[in-house]
Structure 1
Amino acid sequence: MPSIFSYQFFQNALGASLLTAVICGLVGAYIVVRRIVFVSGGITHASFGGIGLGLYLGINPILSAAGAAVLAAFSIGKLSRSEGIREDSAIASVWALGMALGVLFMTLTPGYATSLPSYLFGNILLVTSGDLIALGALALVLVLLFVLGYRRILYIAFDADFARVRGLRVELWERVLLLLVAVSLVLTIRSVGIMLLLSLLTLPQTTVGLFTSDFRQIIFGSIILSALANVGGLLLSYYVLSVPSGVLIILLLFLFLALGKCLSALLRKRSLRR
């Protein structure tokens, strides 16, 4: 085993696994508690249009995907608030438009996009040093934001009306958090891909939520479970099954959820007997 750790690509993948765990643990906790999971799904799939545009124009697809994700995030909010469209309808519209534009641009792109599977299903072994720096910077920004603004985020996540009563600028905080959610979704696409990313943002939080409703514990528990799944999926992919690590990461998260469900049921039965 020690030999594989000497390769640069594996060191990058390992670092990306841990940084992605921090990012998804923080962002996912806010998404699940705030109950905007499907908003995040709409943003994620809308970014596919940005990836298609990037490949068509010959620019970095991550940059164009980030632009599409941010545009989708604010479009959903504007459509549901200002245009009188129900939020679920706005999400579905942006989701479908992003996927349609992605297919359109990729069809118009000459040749075959060999990198497309890595964006759809992820391949953490393709993470570059530049990706690692971007993930590190984002993780640092998120950690600082959640440490310095923990109570504000907590109030907004659980009860936005109460936060307004307390004098918090809820709309501003929601826009900032939604912007960071969009950026986080795009930068973690390389790890598990568009098709599987939503699971990484919800399954660890759901598993931890079986045992506690404390926001801080959900954050730390989600980071730990995400790190275990990311590193475990990476090692299993290399040493055992030779399949994309993103698939194994999600399967491990489902395994953690199933074990957590069984354990919580067992604890509940014991407490009832007492």
Structure 2
Amino acid sequence: MLLERTSMVVTGGNSGIGEAIVLAAATEGASIVIDYINHPDETAHLIAAVEAAGGHATGVHADVSKADDLQKMIQAAVDQYGRLDVLVNNAGIETRASLLETTETEFDRVMSINLKSAFFGTQTAARQFISQGTGGLVINISSVHEDWPMPGNIAYCVSKGGVRMLTRTAGVELGPHDVRVINVAPGAVETPINSTTMADPSEMKALDKAIPLGRMAKASEIADVVIFLASGKAGYLTATTVVIDGGIMQGSVGL
């Protein structure tokens, strides 16, 4: 198994891409801390599914916008599994508001969950990796919108642009400690965050037409890339972004 004896934390791990990562990692032998803020019942069901498949998982209620909670989350992995090997900064939200419409409260919430959590999650994990003396890996679930404007969703785009620069700079700073930082940037994915789009046939038709592969990604396809990166088979990658978007950034001028 690709992730046997690997201890992993996945933020926002009880739904969408996070849930797919947890299930895929468990199948490959990882022991996982599932961070969540809502829906403890869904977390319990996910843990049961992992254990039924022979894996190991535990849930931790932690608000990723708070540095103390991030520390609690990392410590849970150390306490449960003896160490930390991989942190996946997956938690994220959108507001779907333009520059002229975005409120200060909305802006701060998006930045706290999408960018601040990735920054201090990376910091906390890196300190643990260095303390262990083992190196380690941070995978940030970013977005094609780290580089590609999305009018009407500006705070989200700004947060993901920040995650891109965090990944690049942290990867350079932490390289001498054998700590790597990589972005995974999905395009459109079949997850709850895109439920409004998926419920509108006309929007889905336009979206599918804009994607060269003709469809949205499945969350499991994003998870497969994460598993590959965490497996050690991509050990020379750091400070960069792996884009998995069905070609949308090349095939369309924007949505």
Using the size of structure 1 for normalisation, the TM-score is 0.28
Higher percent of residues as strand: 2
Q: Which has the higher contact order (CA 8 A, sep 6+)?
A: 1
Higher percent of residues as helix: 1
- State which structure, 1 or 2, has the greater radius of gyration over its C-alpha atoms: 1
Using the size of structure 2 for normalisation, the TM-score is 0.30
